[in-house]
Structure formats: C-alpha cells, structure tokens
Amino acid sequence: MLKGIPKILSPELLMVLAEMGHGDRLVIGDGNFPAESMGKDAIVIRCDGHSVPELLDAILQLFPLDTYVEHPVNLMEVVPGDDVETPIWDTYREIIAKHDERGAGTVGNIERFAFYEEAKKAYAIIATGESALYANVMLQKGVVTD
C-alpha cells in the first residue's frame, strides 16, 4: 500500500495511468460495455464490483485532464428513441468539478457508435460493474504541470 493513493486503484491500474502520455485516452465502461471486444488493441483492466463514479473520483485525483481539447471527458450519447434517464451524468459533472476548475465545461457527448470507434483507439479500458445505463465515460490525459 501507498500513502495518498486511493485504495480502489490497483497496482495494475496505477501502472497504466503512469504509462499513459498526453493525449492518450482511458475508457471507464459500465457493466454493459463490450470492454474485451473494444479493447483488442488496448489494455483491459477488470474492476468488477466497482462503480464508475468511485473509480472516476479516484482516477481524477492523479490524472490530469487534457487542456488542449475542448472536451477531454466524453460520454456516450443516448440513442434517439431510447427512453433512458442519465442521472449518473450529473454525478460525473460534480466529480469532475472537484478535480478540474473547468468543471462541466470539460464534458462532451459522442454518438454511441462513434464512441465505440474512439474506444477501440483507447490506451486502456476499465471494465466495471456499474449498472446505470449510458454510464460510459472516456477521459483524455493532459500534462502534469506540478
């Protein structure tokens, strides 16, 4: 164990976060996200039993968001005609605002199939046990300036 590191972050996940460079993307997928098929060219980390919000909060304590793009955080858009509420997105915005002064302005949306195509190019995908629908989030790493 290490001091100051959220306990939810496994050694494998910490290594991946440290390896990632500026512009690399990390997907935190909900329990329905096809992590293994999307992550054929990525590192897939299993975090079954954990929710996206708790992982997002822990990761953003260590992971700077890219300041060179308008939306370093992207959510999967709800498919038109899908009658689904997404209250988890408000939770994400609150978590992001704790860790990035730009707050909700960092968050964009990507159409479902475009999100899948971008996920295939991610450095890593975290598979969670999150049961909320449309709870997938993609983060783009920024530069550590401290």
Is residue 24 annotated as part of the catalytic site, yes or no? no
Cβ-defined contacts of 18-24 (< 8 Å, 24+)? 19/123, 20/123, 20/124, 20/141, 21/141, 22/66, 22/141, 22/142, 22/143, 23/66, 23/140, 23/141, 24/122, 24/123, 24/140, 24/141
Give yes or no: 68 in active site. no
Instruction: Check 24, 71, 99, 116 and give the catalytic one.
Output: 116
H/E element, 29: strand 25-29
Catalytic position from the list 66, 92, 100, 134: 66
Annotation marks residue 66 as catalytic: yes
Looking at the annotation, which residues are catalytic?
22, 66, 116
